[in-house]
Amino acid sequence: MTESRRPPENVPDAPGAYLFKDRRGKILYVGKARSLKKRVASYFTKGPEATKTEALLGAWQDLETIVTNTELEALLLENALIKKHRPRYNVCLRDDKTYPYIKITTGEEWPRALVTRRVVEDGHSYFGPFWGGLARRIMRMITRHFQIRTCTIEIDGTLPRPCLYYDLHACLGPCVAGLTTKQAYDEAVGDVVLFLQGRNRELSASLEKKMRQASAEENFEMAAAYRDALRTVEDVSEHQVVHTLKGDNVDVFGFFESGGDVAVCVLVVRGGVIQDRREFFFEKSEEVDPAAFLDAFLPQFYDANPFLPSEVHLPVEISDPALLESFLASRRNAKVSVRVPRRGPARERVELAADNACQRHKVRFRRMGGEGALGVERLARVLDLAIAPRRIEAFDISHLQGTDSIASLVVFEDGRPKKSDYRLFGIASQQLLAPDDFRSMAEAVERRFRKLRDQGSQMPDLVLVDGGRGQLQAALTALDRLGVEVPVVGLAKREEEIWVPARPDPIRLSRKDPALQLIQRVRDEAHRFAITRHRGRRSKRMRETSLRDIPGIGPTRARLLLTRFGSLAGVASADPREVEDAVGPATARAVREYLEAGRAPREPAPASTDPDEGGRARSA
């Protein structure tokens, strides 16, 4: 504590927020209090200081207070100020994972529906977040049953004809005059909002009324559309009731801290089932006490997430759970319980969340050599894979104008090379002076996965090919012939772009991104392995080919001559008696006749290996 500093005077004895500032007026810390006077004074009482408080008191120069009517208002104000200024000594929420929302542009004259991952205050309506592909399924239901638009064109009714979505009954066609009316379109938008708000009873009544009205007007096609929409809403309502009866809606929090680095894990439990996991990381946090950290973290977390549970389970008691309950209840319009489970399944879930936080902390902050694992986790998010690619198999092709063509296969597990599983393939599809990398890649991939399929072996989590769209398509074609489904991506060398199937443009990542660094290591290892073996094969051929063209010279005698004389030129310049001593008079005579004839060496076509599998790699 700084002895020369005294608590500011005339601090009001009322609820509100307080702001510590430095000499330049920059906000260092934002806090809330039931009594500003007592809370501010507590910073200046004598006694042992926490590291964060000691650093704060050494840097502050000015204090500003903002009075509110209630402590809940103070909490809301604190959240807003932290979000706006992101002070150094506050716990500032940074979400590592964003979730999709359904956005209805109700601020426009002709609203449209879209999926977004950003929620902003723009006058439109947002619903969510949604997990596990649910957002896309809901969008299909919106276009199929409610037929509001998803396009971005300007609606003025002057287009001569509607787009294909109108013919597919996925849009009411407001872009063409006469296809629908403003009233009918607004009613459809209203039905979508009721559906997304879960007000299915009101929506069912509205749809049934419209169905009967359309039927009475003999508009049977529209009546059928309303009937299908009504059935969908009833099915969704029944599904929601089943889940409500089946289990609780709970958010379970886990906390782990080591070395000043903090990991928070949130298990999202809906209907008694863990639906998702959310992770948050704070590097060199100024606040590491679990209770104080969660005190600051939870209001920010729920301020950014409108989908609230009925219960919140914590690993430790926070200072004022009743205040947090009031805050959550004001946002949910229903009671929310905040508690620390002591026993039973609820306690087991909290322990599971804590274990997840610990494991993710090790990966994120690279404990226990977790750099490769960090890249694996990041790659799964970048490529939107269902599971993390723990086992990656990579292919590369190496040749010189089509000769001595080699395909390499390298294997990485948990971000590390597994050299015992490396393989080589001699490529038979190459022809001299007519190299075809695409055919070579297809041949190597097909041979590898035919053997895995026939033997019932476990498939890799991800296949990486060295190259862009062409090599990727070749690998996909080979897998399609075999009926094998496995994620495949290509990494192009020049711009380090990641090519993914079904995407017209490549993925471009920062050079410092752990996902890119991981696949670069895998690709470079495949290239090193391929080119090393290619050079060895080419060198061997260049050494042995001419000698083995001589009648009577096989592999053993060719090696004997090369060992003794070094090269074909060395054999030609050697004393004939030395050659005769090495291989015998008959073979020496054949060598002499061959050299005197001056025949050019003949280059054989590259040999192929076993048709189903490459040779097993020795230590690389």
Tens-digit pLDDT profile for residues 270-305: 766 666 678 888 876 666 688 888 988 898 888 777
May I ask the CATH class of domain 391-535? alpha beta
Full strand arrangement of the beta sheet holding 250-258: 273-282, 261-270, 250-258, 311-313, 337-339
Beta bridge partners of 258: 261
DSSP letter at 101 equals: E
Minimum mean pLDDT range among 95-109, 338-352, 374-388: 95-109
CA torsion, points 112, 117, 122, 128, in degrees to nearest 10?
70
3-state DSSP call for residue 303? helix
CA pair distance 421, 21, nearest whole angstrom? 59
| Stretch(es) of the chain classified as CATH 3.30.420.340 | 391-535
CA quadruple 595, 601, 602, 605: dihedral sign = positive
For the segment 599-615, what is each residue's pLDDT rounded down to a tens digit? 434 433 333 344 445 55
Query: Exposed, middle or buried, 227 (CB in 10 Å: 0-12/13-18/19+)?
Result: middle
CATH fold label, 16-85: GIY-YIG endonuclease (3.40.1440)
Model's pTM, two decimal places? 0.38
Closest listed residue to residue 30, CA positions, set 73, 93, 72, 91: 91
Residue 15 binned pLDDT confidence (cut-offs 50, 70, 90) = confident
| Stretch(es) of the chain classified as CATH 1.10.150 | 550-597
- CATH entry 2.60.40 includes domain 250-364: no
Tokens coding 515: 């996902």
Average pLDDT of the chain, as a whole number? 78
Residue 301: what residue type? F
pLDDT: is 97 or 45 the higher one?
45
Beta bridge partners of 337: 311
pLDDT at 316 over 90: yes
Closest listed residue to residue 18, CA positions, set 1, 36, 38: 36
Which CATH architecture is the domain 550-597 placed in? Orthogonal Bundle (1.10)
> What's the start-to-end Cα distance of the chain, in Å?
60
- Inter-helix orientation angle 290-303/321-332, to 10°: 10
CA pair distance 522, 416, nearest whole angstrom? 9
CB burial string 294-315: b at 16+ within 10 A, e below? bbbbbbbbbbebebbbebbbbb
pLDDT of residue 172: 87
Tokens coding 355: 């274990």
CA pair distance 315, 534, nearest whole angstrom? 58
Phi, psi for 513 (deg, rounded to 5): -70, 130
Residue 98 binned pLDDT confidence (cut-offs 50, 70, 90) = low
CA pair distance 7, 10, nearest whole angstrom? 10
pLDDT at 389 over 70: yes
3-state DSSP call for residue 95? strand
